[in-house]
Structure 1
């Protein structure tokens, strides 16, 4: 699909076919969701779909996970008229921080951190990331925010794969993602039928 083409009806997830398949080999993620952000209508509809389950939910702050969660998270925060909190990879914040160790989707041990002067007990936070594969990164972000007393209202991502970690998130927290039920099996097997027509 042309990155600028917009269908007339725009059903939920119409923009998923804009995502690009991996052309660089196994060291990289299996697809690039960020291509859909290049289409302004796709980005707007993605944010709308992510916020659907949270209408009427009191949200004080949106947190986005380094780095691709910054794009969607700040878009969600702007749409809600709320502030945005960056959950960073360790070593980038020059203020007092709280940290959390985790294992990412590639199996690497990492640390994330967040500033300590924003989150107070009772602050209601929606956490946004681009993609949830094993769930390790999102689980660490949840633990980090809750350690500082925040209430995690829910979790939002373009996709949540049905891995052990993905299922844990879906069972424990309110969640949203952009995947229609009929596409979930394609997401879980890491191949979209739309890749056949990718140009």
Structure 2
């Protein structure tokens, strides 16, 4: 279902990701958005990937929190409205006016506990077609929860856009998203993954075996 992403040289904004290992279990990404041109590059690539579908897309759905930045940028670029999936308890609405994913456990459950995301019911209608975006998909649990919520409301998810989707084999939920939906993930190419792995090994002091002559 997915198409092959462009080669990494066409995505220089990947270099704006702060991949310093601070023992936090995740990368610090506010520097990415502070790098001139980085967000523009990501947005243009997402638009390019979904160019054939955009005329029939009704809205962009962004996940709390940094996914809001991506959704807002795409909304401004495409003229499509942005629908924000907020963390549970943040919408100033009565329970009957919002739809919830229900509690789920993502990568941060050890620190923050289970969480839920909510959407205004009056912003979503039967038969809508949406693209869902987040800045980073690690376990895939959060994105999966929102996609399932939207589909339960009669909305068609025509695509998913992100800066990073966990590499194949690391998360069953992330792999299922890649398999079952049209996903643009800027990091998803063999060349980018090889570079990431090399950087991780260098930071960890891993010694690579010398290649032997045939």
Q: TM-score, normalised by structure 2?
A: 0.78
Alignment of 1:19-58 (within 5 A): 19-22=17-20, 24-25=22-23, 28-57=24-53, 58=56
Q: In 1, Cα distance between the equivalents of 2:30 and 2:194?
A: 21
Task: State the superposition RMSD in angstroms.
Answer: 2.3
Q: Which has the larger radius of gyration?
A: 2
Q: Where does structure 1 differ by over 4 angstroms across 4 or more consecutive aligned residues?
A: 185-190
Name the structure 2 match of 1:78: 76
After TM superposition, give the deviation of residue 155 of structure 1 in Å: 0.6
Q: 1 or 2, which has the higher helix percentage?
A: 2
Q: In 2, Cα distance between the equivalents of 1:181 and 1:128?
A: 22
Name stretches of at least 5 consecutive residues in structure 2 with no aligned partner. 1-7, 204-214
Alignment of 1:5-154 (within 5 A): 11-22=9-20, 24-25=22-23, 28-57=24-53, 58-95=56-93, 96-100=97-101, 101-107=103-109, 108-154=113-159
Q: TM-score, normalised by structure 1?
A: 0.83
SS in structure 1 opposite 2:200?
coil
Q: In 1, Cα distance between the equivalents of 2:174 and 2:42?
A: 20
SS in structure 1 opposite 2:108?
coil
Number of aligned residue pairs: 183
